[in-house]
Amino acid sequence: MTSPELKFGPCEKIALATYWTIQRLRDLLSGQHIVIRSHHNLLLLLKKHNLALSDIRNERVVRWMTTLLTEHITVEPLKEPSIHVLGVLIQGQDHVCHHMIAPKAHSVFKEGSPADVGNNPVWYIDASSSVIDGKRMTGFAGVLLEGRTILDWFQYACKNAGAQFAELAALLTLIRDKIGKGGTHFVVTDSMYVFRGALILLTFWVNNKWQSTDGSIVQHKGLWERIQDLSKDHVGFIKLVKVKAHRSKGPLAYGNSLADKFAKEAACLPDIPLWEEEDVLYHTPLAPVQLYAPDDDGTQWSVLREHQEYDLVLAPLFDDLAYKLGKETLKILHDILVKYTEHGPAWVIPSHLVKCLLAWVHGSIAGGHPKLQECMDRMSKLGWWPTMRRDIQDHIDRCIVCAHQDPARQLTRGALMRYAPTGPWDRLQVDYVGTRPLTACKNRYILVVVDSFSRWIEAFATPNKTAGATAKILVQNVFCHFGIPKQMDSDNGGEFVNTILKEITSWLDLPWDFHIAYHPQSGGMVERMNGQIKKELSKICNANGKNWDILLPFVLAWMRSRVNRHIQMSPYEVLFGRSMPSWERLLLHMDISTSVALCNEEWAKEHSLWLTTVQGQALHTDVVSALKSKSDFDKKSDLTEYQVGDSVCMLKQGQKNPRKFPKDCWEGPYLIVDKVGPSVYLIQKSDGLNVYKHAMQLKLFKGSIFTLLFYIYFVFQKVYKEIETLERLFQTLLFTMNDRRLYI
């Protein structure tokens, strides 16, 4: 059982157990006579010809019991002790579940069957709802038949309504206009919603004050209320007969098909009278609508009519009579402008109350910061104004809490950017690989250095990756062997961001750039080399992998001699002007001595010229390959460029995958103060520090930072008392509108 089910009382658990048993054994028990013995009065309600499910207070139990009505079930009280061990444990005394049984209430609706109809006149009701050319078309109809002779009928179209609403409207119209207050009348419907609602749930809803089990207001409450009020004056019975829809055979199939045809005509054909909800929702006179709110001095604020009339946005709706007549859902009711929505009538909200109402509905503790559609549904129950959808969307876009919590559409692929070194040793990338298995020489890490132009790689095994060890390897094994590069870059690890390296690079006049934090694509070349080293070492190391530092030079030799697909030659060939002598020549006993002997000076000149040619060719090939890669990559880019001055939210430190962990992973909003490229921006944080961020780590905040600061000041310093007053006002309004009344 689930957690909510564990909290059920014993009576609910018995009903649930019965429902589960019958449902799960339906295939085995199909067509069989089932006998249930129980102490619980709830199950005794299942007795045929003694249906009293409408007397149950709990809608859940009603739903379960209703499902079992179609089975051949006999329920008997338990007279003798059970011989089953489990039955002995759970059996008890006969009792009535008083807390779940409501007082007896008269209901005009009774269940009927096709056999009960006989030769009596029968009303058939049906509804039709479909979307044609993007517009919902809904209508309902009723037809009175005696045999196959039409005695009476009605058709109505419904505006902005669904099928369930229309089915209910058909039943309501039938009771109000066509059926007398005495005698027995037969009504055939193919709607389970109408059948269950009128026969079983209506009395339950009345006893429960029009609330479902979960406390929510019953859907289409206004229609059900009107049906209940009309049925009170009926001294006879209305027998509801449920049939299956769209059947060609059966005693009632012809009448049901005819009602369905009439309903489709009502939905689609012109000149069909429009069914008015006002007759249902306002069947009793309403007092004049007035809205009061106390000022600081306790005096009355104003009448709602005056707020609407003197509002610059709503005033044209009063003055322009043509506009009122053209918009059939806008009406003047008791001098108040109201809007008819699918939830019923809603008062038109003056524009100066919109922002406060939005702040309460969307941002209060009970609001929960809903999305656009949910916020629209909630607001529609309270009120309406002309720019409602646009204002709600704008408010949600500017909500700081939503900006921090909601996973907005993330940039999955930015434009490809590439540094363009023009020769060997122009730019080096460095990074660490680790932690590796501890070797005999106590080595755990590998410091990797890659030349961005030639792809030449150097890697050094080291016991640790401290700042001192990093500086020593770079100076002794890189700078002293190959010279000082023009530029270097690395990630933001502590082994690179430290005082020692900062002083060394300052002394050598060596620019050192750092990659964007938590964005490994910034150092893509060295990251790929790291992966290649780990993969090759795993292939040639022994079982425990502790000899990797001995085999590392062999991996480097292979990587230096391999032809790179971007420059179409090996790193060794770019630096030395010839192919690297391979190990295969030892197997083939090849002689690679030059055929023409040159003096040192001639060889140096020729080699220098040849090396320049080789490196020029490598540069040309690399540029062409890079341009093609960028063109192919950018075709799938969904990059949206930001501009200097934009407000953005930024991924929190350490967050790498906002789609996997979307909650509370954003901070800000912050300001963009510089644009390095289409994908890289300099962000000014609130503490004054500037950080570089990639576009994949940002999302646009549609509100203004200055507007945000002013709003905070405005709320907490200027109108705190007024906000409290308005919150009380809207709380009162919410409970009032749930009752579909427009007065407070």
Percent of the chain with pLDDT over 90: 11
- Both 434 and 546 in a single domain? yes
Rounded to an integer, the average pLDDT of 696-706 is: 70
pLDDT bucket at 302, cuts 50 / 70 / 90: very low
Q: What per-residue confidence (pLDDT) applies to 97?
A: 57
333-383 tens-digit pLDDT? 666 777 777 667 777 888 777 877 888 788 765 667 788 888 888 887 778
Q: Does the pLDDT value for residue 94 go beyond 50?
A: no
Q: Which of 458, 454, 488, 485 is nearest to 621 (CA)?
A: 454
Q: What per-residue confidence (pLDDT) applies to 416?
A: 58
Q: Does the pLDDT value for residue 730 go beyond 60?
A: no
Task: For 382, list phi and psi in degrees, rounded to 5.
Answer: -100, -45
Q: What per-residue confidence (pLDDT) applies to 193?
A: 87
pLDDT bucket at 86, cuts 50 / 70 / 90: very low
Per the listing, tokens 């069957």 go with: 113
Q: What per-residue confidence (pLDDT) applies to 288?
A: 33
pLDDT bucket at 245, cuts 50 / 70 / 90: confident
Report if residue 632 sits inside a domain. no
Q: What per-residue confidence (pLDDT) applies to 435?
A: 81
Which residues sit opposite 341 in a β-bridge? 344
Q: Alpha carbon of 565 to those of 84, 569, 630: distances in Å?
A: 79, 7, 15
Report if residue 410 sits inside a domain. no
Q: Does the pLDDT value for residue 678 go beyond 70?
A: yes
Q: Does the pLDDT value for residue 53 go beyond 60?
A: no
- Both 556 and 480 in a single domain? yes
609-645 per-residue burial string, b: 16 or more CB within 10 A, e: under 16: eebeebbeebbebbeeebeeeeeeeeeebebeebeee
Q: What per-residue confidence (pLDDT) applies to 706?
A: 45
Q: How far apart are CA 297 and CA 278, in angstroms?
A: 39
Q: Alpha carbon of 676 to those of 511, 643, 681, 683: distances in Å?
A: 17, 11, 6, 11
Q: How far apart are CA 291 and CA 306, in angstroms?
A: 10
Q: Does the pLDDT value for residue 607 go beyond 60?
A: yes
- Both 96 and 173 in a single domain? no
Which token pair is 55?
A: 């007397």
Where is average pLDDT lowest: 149-158, 427-436, 688-697, 734-743? 734-743
- Both 182 and 63 in a single domain? no
Rounded to an integer, the average pLDDT of 406-433 is: 72
Q: How far apart are CA 642 and CA 688, in angstroms?
A: 21
Report if residue 190 sits inside a domain. yes
> How many of the other CB atoms lie within 10 Å of CB of 71?
16
Q: Are 40 and 16 in contact (CB under 8 A)?
A: no
Per-chain mean pLDDT for the chain: 73
pLDDT bucket at 187, cuts 50 / 70 / 90: very high
Report if residue 75 sits inside a domain. yes
Report if residue 314 sits inside a domain. no
Q: Please say which residue of 81, 100, 119 terminates a domain.
A: 100
Where is average pLDDT lowest: 285-289, 310-314, 329-333, 417-421? 285-289
SS3 589: coil
Which residues sit opposite 101 in a β-bridge? 56
Report if residue 705 sits inside a domain. no
Residue bearing the bigger pLDDT, 647 or 704: 647
Q: Alpha carbon of 157 to those of 1, 347, 376, 494: distances in Å?
A: 46, 24, 25, 73
Rounded to an integer, the average pLDDT of 548-567 is: 87
- Both 172 and 43 in a single domain? no
Per the listing, tokens 């005693």 go with: 251
- Both 141 and 244 in a single domain? yes
Q: How far apart are CA 678 and CA 676, in angstroms?
A: 7
In this structure, what CATH number is given to the domain that contains residue 209? 3.30.420.10
Rounded to an integer, the average pLDDT of 111-116 is: 86
Q: Are 172 and 230 in contact (CB under 8 A)?
A: yes
Length of the chain: 744
- Both 530 and 581 in a single domain? yes
- Both 453 and 574 in a single domain? yes
Where is average pLDDT lowest: 8-12, 15-19, 520-524, 723-727? 723-727
- Both 81 and 121 in a single domain? no
Rounded to an integer, the average pLDDT of 527-556 is: 86
Q: What per-residue confidence (pLDDT) applies to 517?
A: 75
- Both 94 and 219 in a single domain? no
Q: Which domain, by its residues, includes 519?
A: 427-591+598-615
Q: What per-residue confidence (pLDDT) applies to 458?
A: 93
Q: How far apart are CA 579 and CA 29, in angstroms?
A: 83
Residue bearing the bigger pLDDT, 102 or 10: 10
Helices 354-363 and 720-738 pack at an angle, to 10 degrees, of 70
Q: What per-residue confidence (pLDDT) applies to 298?
A: 32
SS3 634: helix
- Both 433 and 541 in a single domain? yes
Q: How far apart are CA 688 and CA 379, in angstroms?
A: 40
**Which DSSP symbol is given to 684?**
E
Number of structural domains (the chain) is: 3
The model's pTM is 0.40
Q: What per-residue confidence (pLDDT) applies to 654?
A: 61
Q: What per-residue confidence (pLDDT) applies to 326?
A: 43
Class of residue 56 by CB neighbours under 10 A (exposed 0-12, middle 13-18, buried 19+):
buried
- Both 117 and 81 in a single domain? no
pLDDT bucket at 324, cuts 50 / 70 / 90: very low
CA gyration radius for the chain?
40
Residue bearing the bigger pLDDT, 108 or 45: 108
Q: Please say which residue of 249, 281, 313 terminates a domain.
A: 281
Q: What per-residue confidence (pLDDT) applies to 647?
A: 84
Report if residue 49 sits inside a domain. yes
